[in-house]
Structure 1
Amino acid sequence: MAGFQDILGHEQIIEHLQNAIKTDKVSHAYILDGPDMSGKKMIADAFSMTLECEKKGTEPCMECHSCKQALGKNQPDIIYLQHEKPNTISVDDIRSQINNDIGVKPYSSPYKVYIVDEAEKMNVQAQNALLKTIEEPPAYAVILLLTNNAEIFLPTILSRCVRLSLKAVPDEKIKAYLMENYEVPDYKADVCVAFAQGNVGKAIELAESEDFNEIKNSALQLIKRLDDIELYEMTEAVKQISNYKLKINDYFDLIMIWYRDVLLYKATADVNKLIFKEEVYEIKKEASRSSYGGIENILEALEKAKIRLNANVNFDLVIELLLLTIKEN
């Protein structure tokens, strides 16, 4: 758990929340909307700690009894909703943990804060149950809905919450942060930043990954060998990729970075702007034999493959189709 000062980026959202605290105009319900690992949880934690902090500033002091409780995840007036079903937040979850509890005044703090992570998992019945509470909340109640897809909420939920959408953090900020705090070498920081696309959590995850080089090398070796692979040999390539099934989107993102490098070099012939600078010989070779349209087709095929896998289309079929598209282009 960290304070606002420890959060990288999202300055406008932080300023909005701090101003709400300073002017005593805290809303009863907020939606923090952004991709997974983008910082929603850190912002919610910092906001809830600050609301309950005994020093009553715009940053949690980290020293008072409330802050120490929050740091230890046992502040009784900061409640994290739990749900047994991994893909659903049910009406019973909302009723038992929020609706039936919110009428009880805070134990020791000015506010009672409810944090609902992965709020997009609320089914319609759960949203309707929550709506009744959001419409007439006690003055001390603050509900934070953390989601990667606010559009899934009922219009009535959206209209009664303050919606704060997290934006991408600039690449140069993420790179400097990784090099300073994780001692990541320059070339690896470039790959992590390109891979993260403005998402600090994703960049950190890759920077901390023990098998980063293994995943990267596996992806690049496959790309380099595709021209020489016969169709019947692709089965083995599919098996190799399936070793990374839990991180397949990361695997695809690394391949996309490679082809963006190829496209960039083909358009500009500028080696200095490449992410995979150490692969410049292979990138030059790929750029010389690929058309602009072919590279665009590959990038589109990678996006489609990610969508299909998220929709639970057969894994081997998606991978084989993707490899065929790359090989043809």
Structure 2
Amino acid sequence: MGSFKDVVGHKDIIQYLHNAISEDRVSHAYILNGERGSGKKLLARLFAMTLLCEEHGPEPCNHCHSCKQAESGNHPDIITVTHDKPNTISVDDIRVQVNNTIDVKPYQGPYKIYIIPEADKMTVQAQNALLKTIEEPPKYAVILLLTENAELLLPTINSRCVMLKLRYIKDKLIKKYLMENLEIPDYKAEVCTAFAQGNMGKAIMLANSDHFNEIREEAIQLLKYIHEMELSEIVDAVSHISVYKLEITDYLDIIMIWYRDVLMYKATKDLDKVVFKDQIKYIKEQAQKSSYEGIELILESLEKAKTRLKANVNFDLVMELLFLTIKEN
């Protein structure tokens, strides 16, 4: 499992947790709020391990019986709440797994820790059931709510929990991690970092994804030759990329970063600011062909395409209009 020292970024949250542990000011309830892949589960696990570690230090020792149990996912005093319905945590889930067991004292440690992933999926009834427990918890209880959108939780729950917001991680830290720990080459680390937008989990996922590389190559090939393509070829291209519907946001992000590169190079001639360094020949050619207004129009059209696809507008129609805008500019 490692230690807090291995976590990239989130130093303010780690310092806060260290202080809470060392000064014996551990709260009964925390909300860890951040997008998917931001590190909520890792921080929650490390916090739980540290609270139960037999060495009682600011970090889990990773050697004691408690740490080994936690690392294997078999610690009796760390309970992770699960739910059968993919998008709903029901009142029964909370009652059975939390409310009905929280009065049973810890089996071996000083704390009994409940981790609730996807806590923003709790129904109102489930949240109200949990609220009663948060209002009058046993002294040994610690409840960790992991959310992507804390605003979906009741104000009464938010007000009774310590809010820990996971911020975006600096690009240079993500790129350094990918290159040093995953041995990703410089140009690929740059692309994954640009796509991750401060999200370490997403950066790691992209770096390890052959499918992402496939999508990237498809998009780049289209961008290289779209200005020479006939309308029928564009329609065929749309039909071909329909297999990427589930990852269409990634596909559009690739195009967006490509044109941001074009805009950046056109304005500055600075190669260091280009993400697609391995495609610099084509970036330079596009910068010469396109006007500033044309590039801005393409970037605006990409945002519109994302919005329309989210609203379930016809996929082929949205993509054909987008590609025609790109071809004409």
Shorter-normalised TM-score: what interval? over 0.9
Aligned equivalent of 2:190: 190
User: For residues 181 and 150 of structure 1, do their structure 2 counterparts lie closer, same or farther at Cα, with a shift above 3 Å needed?
Assistant: same
Q: Compute the TM-score of the two structures, normalised by the length of structure 1.
A: 0.94
Amino acid at match of 2:42: M
Aligned equivalent of 1:289: 289
Q: Would the aligned equivalents of 1:2 and 1:42 in 2 still touch at CA under 8 Å?
A: no
Summarize the alignment of residues 49-198 of structure 1 with structure 2, pairs less than 5 Å apart: 49-198=49-198
Q: Distance in 2 between matches of 1:189 and 1:223?
A: 21
Compute the displacement of 1:317 (Å).
4.0
Question: How many residues of Structure 1 are paired with residues of Structure 2 in the alignment?
Answer: 329
User: For residues 304 and 184 of structure 1, do their structure 2 counterparts lie closer, same or farther at Cα, with a shift above 3 Å needed?
Assistant: same
Aligned equivalent of 1:30: 30
User: For residues 312 and 161 of structure 1, do their structure 2 counterparts lie closer, same or farther at Cα, with a shift above 3 Å needed?
Assistant: farther
Q: Structure 1, residues 174-212: CA drift from partner, whole Å, max 9, x if none?
A: 111111111111111111111111111111111112234
Q: Distance in 2 between matches of 1:312 and 1:106?
A: 49
Q: Distance in 1 between matches of 2:215 and 2:112?
A: 44
User: For residues 299 and 218 of structure 1, do their structure 2 counterparts lie closer, same or farther at Cα, with a shift above 3 Å needed?
Assistant: same
Q: What secondary structure, in the 3-state scheme, does the structure 1 residue paired with 2:138 have? A: coil
Q: 10-19 or 234-243, which moves further after superposition?
A: 234-243
User: For residues 294 and 101 of structure 1, do their structure 2 counterparts lie closer, same or farther at Cα, with a shift above 3 Å needed?
Assistant: farther
Compute the displacement of 1:51 (Å).
0.7
User: For residues 292 and 124 of structure 1, do their structure 2 counterparts lie closer, same or farther at Cα, with a shift above 3 Å needed?
Assistant: farther
Q: Distance in 2 between matches of 1:95 and 1:314?
A: 43
Unaligned runs of 5+ in 2: none
Aligned equivalent of 2:18: 18
Amino acid at match of 1:217: E
User: For residues 220 and 105 of structure 1, do their structure 2 counterparts lie closer, same or farther at Cα, with a shift above 3 Å needed?
Assistant: same
Compute the displacement of 1:311 (Å).
4.8
Q: Compute the TM-score of the two structures, normalised by the length of structure 2.
A: 0.94
Summarize the alignment of residues 203-282 of structure 1 with structure 2, pairs less than 5 Å apart: 203-282=203-282
Q: 303-312 or 94-103, which moves further after superposition?
A: 303-312
Pair 1:298-2:298 in alignment: yes
Task: Provide the aligned C-alpha RMSD in A.
Answer: 1.8
Compute the displacement of 1:308 (Å).
4.3
Q: 137-146 or 317-326, which moves further after superposition?
A: 317-326
Compute the displacement of 1:328 (Å).
4.3
Summarize the alignment of residues 311-322 of structure 1 with structure 2, pairs less than 5 Å apart: 311-322=311-322
Q: Distance in 2 between matches of 1:114 and 1:321?
A: 49
Q: Distance in 1 between matches of 2:123 and 2:304?
A: 27
Q: Would the aligned equivalents of 1:2 and 1:45 in 2 still touch at CA under 8 Å?
A: no
Q: What secondary structure, in the 3-state scheme, does the structure 2 residue paired with 1:157 have? A: helix
Q: Structure 1, residues 59-82: CA drift from partner, whole Å, max 9, x if none?
A: 001111110000110001111111
Q: Would the aligned equivalents of 2:41 and 2:146 in 1 still touch at CA under 8 Å?
A: yes
Amino acid at match of 1:147: T
* Percent of aligned pairs sharing the same letter: 66
User: For residues 258 and 159 of structure 1, do their structure 2 counterparts lie closer, same or farther at Cα, with a shift above 3 Å needed?
Assistant: same
